[in-house]
Homo-oligomer: A and B are copies of this chain.
Amino acid sequence: MKPKPFKIETYNGDSRYVKETSTGHIWHRCQHRTLYADTDRSSVVYHSNYLRYFEQGRATLMRDNLYPYYDIEKSGYVYPIIDIGIKYYRPLHYDDLMWIHTRPDKIERVKLQFKYIITHVESKDIVCIGYTQHCASNTSGIPVAIDPKTVELWKNFPINIK
């Protein structure tokens, strides 16, 4: 039931990215600390708040690659979420520091998937692994092909990361 340890090495000397040793996958990462507001009466982070951390990871990955989600929306696209999944391995407590690792996972014509691994900074334990799948739509909500800039950016990830 326990996932294999998430073994990583530095990548290109850029602290915002790491290379997963076993797969060679490159992950973007950013740090975040839990708030009292995130916890529930069992003293751990309430399960839905990890989706908020995923958003933060995804938004930071996009901004660090010079194409923030806000700009995608300004260009006439929206990427609503159509599918999510999370497996939880150990809880985060109040004031815990986490790494949020994010990578683009699958790109289809109208669909785009990101994968996430959250780890506990101190113990390096995997906290949870999840994904969000998005469907490209125009502002009327009609599914459309993913915008070319996004395709270009994530299809070649991590070749052209900034």
Contact = CB atoms under 8 A, between A and B. Distances in A.
Interface range, A side: 35 or more
A48 B52 contact: yes
Given A88-B81, A88-B83, A46 B42 contact: no
A157 interface: no
Interface string A73-93: 000001011111111110101
A65 interface: no
B88 A85 contact: no
A80 B37 contact: no
A138 interface: no
Contacts of A52: 35, 37, 48
A86 B44 CA distance: 22
Q: Which of A43, A44, A56, A94 has the most CB of B within 10 A?
A: A94
13 contacts: A35-B52, A37-B46, A37-B55, A41-B94, A42-B80, A47-B84, A47-B132, A48-B51, A70-B95, A82-B88, A82-B89, A83-B87, A83-B88
Given A36-B69, A37-B46, 4 more contacts: A48-B48, A70-B94, A82-B87, A83-B88
